[in-house]
Amino acid sequence: MSLCRFLRLHTSVYDLISDCPEIPVRGSEAAEDVSVWREALRCLIQSATLSTYHLAGTCKMGASREDGSVTGTDLR
Is this prediction's pTM over 0.75? no
Q: What angle do CA 69, 73, 75 make, to 5 degrees?
A: 85
pLDDT of residue 35: 86
55: left (phi over 0), alpha (psi -120 to 50) or beta: beta
pLDDT of residue 7: 60
- pLDDT digit string, tens, across residues 22-74: 777 788 887 788 888 888 888 878 877 777 776 776 777 777 766 778 776 67
- Helices of type H across the chain: 3-10, 13-17, 29-32, 34-48
